Amino acid sequence: MSAARKDPVDAIVDQWAAVRPDLDTKAMEVFGRIFRLSRAMGDRMERAYAPHGISRGEFDVLATLRRSGEPYTLSPRQLSGTLMLTTGGMTGRLDKLERAGLIRRSPDPHDRRGLQVTLTEKGLTTVDEAVGAGLAAETTALSTLNAEQADQLADLLRELLAGTEGTGR
């Protein structure tokens, strides 16, 4: 690798090699870059969603409702399960989204104790605009790779994720 292509993860690995040459740091190289990439892209996504008045977490709620298809309605429990949030965390997000007029909560007609969360027209417009802005930010970042490299990376990350989440072979 050329010196110009070195990144901060290489510096960390080099430091470990100097003090602990017995360590195999390949996993550190991979996951260190994944963590740094995740943080950098998280920041970019926040900036992409900010003009739409929402955060990444709020986008996730709106996008989950949008992807569910018409009538864009799910229970708070379904949302929590999909987004891997506690019910308390979900309540806070729903409160903010409801105050902004992006969702509405209503009684579940099939369960007297339950609620339904539905995208409003404003929420539908907001999420549709925000998803475009987010994809533009991701596409710009991915443009450093050619199409074949991007496909290969997606395949490799799918395999790694499946193995890490225990859904692999």
Domain boundaries, the chain: 28-164
In 22-113, which residue ranges form alpha helices assigned H by DSSP? Answer: 26-49, 56-67, 76-83, 87-99
Query: With 60 as the cut, is the pLDDT of residue 168 above it?
Result: no
Neighbours of 110 (CB within 10 A): 8
Nearest-angstrom CA–CA distance, 88 and 80: 9
CATH number of the structural domain 28-164: 1.10.10.10
pLDDT score, position 112: 82
Q: Give 57-82 pLDDT, tens digit per residue.
A: 999 999 999 999 999 999 998 998 88
pLDDT score, position 169: 52
Indicate the pTM of the whole model.
0.86
